[in-house]
Amino acid sequence: MEQLRLAPAIFRAANPPGPGDAKVTGAKESCPDASETAAWSEHNPAMPPGAMSSPEEADPESVLASMTARISITTTETSFIIRRLLMLTPALSAGLRRALRSQIMTEVRGARALVTGANGGLGRAIAIGLRAQGAELVVTGRWAGPVEAVAAEVGGRAIVADLADRSQLERILAEAGDLDILVANAALPASGDLGDWEQHQIDRVLEVNLANPIAMTRALLPRFRERGSGHFVYVSSLSGKVASKGASLYSATKFGLRGFAGGLRADVHGSGIGVSVIFPGFVRDAGMFADSGATLPRGVGTVSPEAVTKAVLKAIRADKAEVDVAPISLRAGALIGALAPGLSATVQARVGNGLSEQLIEAQRDKR
């Protein structure tokens, strides 16, 4: 209710007195004009002046009537403020956009970009998209054959490495050379009930999905700061905004990426360094969902790998903090789940078409 109590101050800020305005003394502070006062009187006859007397002087019925009247007054006052703010919204929003618009514009053409997790899938699509815009590519992958094929496709360099092994980080960055862009895309599926996981499997997921991107960022940050440019892109998931059944560990890593990136973005503000997070929904044709062969419930849409690539390019060029890549229904569901996590968990536990079970079974050998 603090916001409602401050409504008169909001009104005064939105409507500063002009040089010709007469100062009215003794007027009710929370009423901005006579028409509003008339509206209050018309809709609140139960509240005469001084009705809210001390508890010792008022009987319970009169106190209740007065409180009801106060609520009506607050509602009327708030309605007026909302109407005024809506009138001002176009100008205010335009001013906010100008004030908050990032001045960082990372040029993709000629930039040297490292894309992790480029054995295929989304990593390959992102590498192809960056190359098409003139970037010089370095790609990493665990398996020599697939990652070397992607490197050949984009005319870049392949680095065969297991990101679960922290000792390989120094070698990866040494071979990658002087980078302008990092796209931390590598991730393990990490589906299944937590009780079914061995601790060494959990450690591996945490390293690949979260700890390695953080460590890689830490290693690159001094050079980016020295140069006053560079861009970090972290490929998260809508599971990084709302948790889902059978994906507690996966969601933990993707939520972690979002939190890390948000804090890092604040840390490097004004330095010329960009930080972005991409939140894909279900991606068809490439990536861990496509590889699982799982069937979505009727009406649940997917996005293409190319749509994710466009989001990455948009994030780099405009320094977008976050970009969702999913149909509107999934984005709305993620928003509702974030606002009401308890309800979301209950619904997921009671309703479903076996999607989580399909994913768990298909991804079990990827732990």
- The reply to whether 265 falls in a domain is yes
Angle between helix 199-206 and 248-267 (nearest 10): 30
Q: How many CB atoms lie within 10 A of CB 191?
A: 28
> Are the C-beta atoms of 188 and 366 separated by less than 8 Å?
yes
Residue 285 lies in a domain: yes
Same domain, 33 and 146: no
Contacts 24+ apart (CB under 8 A), 260-269: 260/210, 260/213, 260/214, 260/217, 260/234, 261/232, 261/234, 261/321, 262/321, 264/217, 264/232, 265/321, 268/221, 268/224, 268/225
How many domains does one find in the chain?
A: 2
Catalytic residue among 234, 250, 255, 260: 250
The answer to whether residues 84 and 119 belong to one domain is: no
Residues 81 and 117 in one domain: no
In a domain, 284, yes or no: yes
Find the length of the chain.
Answer: 367
Q: Which residue segment(s) compose the domain that 163 sits in? A: 112-366
From 60, 77, 106, 107, select the one nearest 3 (Cα to Cα): 77
Judgement on whether residues 203 and 342 belong to the same structural domain of the protein: yes
Question: Which CATH number covers residue 153?
Answer: 3.40.50.720
CA nearest neighbour of 207 among 186, 181, 234, 236:
186
pLDDT digits (tens), the chain, 367 positions: 444 344 444 444 444 554 444 443 444 444 445 444 444 444 444 444 444 444 444 454 554 455 445 444 444 555 555 556 556 555 555 555 554 455 566 789 999 999 999 998 899 999 999 999 999 999 999 999 999 999 999 999 999 999 999 999 999 999 999 999 999 999 999 888 899 999 999 999 999 999 999 999 999 999 999 999 999 999 999 989 988 888 899 999 999 999 999 999 999 999 999 999 999 988 888 877 777 777 777 778 788 999 999 999 999 999 999 999 988 878 887 887 778 877 777 766 665 557 777 777 777 877 7
| Cβ partners under 8 Å of residue 39, min gap 6 | 76
3-state DSSP helix/strand/coil % of the chain, to nearest 5: 55, 10, 35
Q: Are strands 181-184 and 274-280 parallel, antiparallel or unpaired?
A: unpaired
234 is an active site residue: no
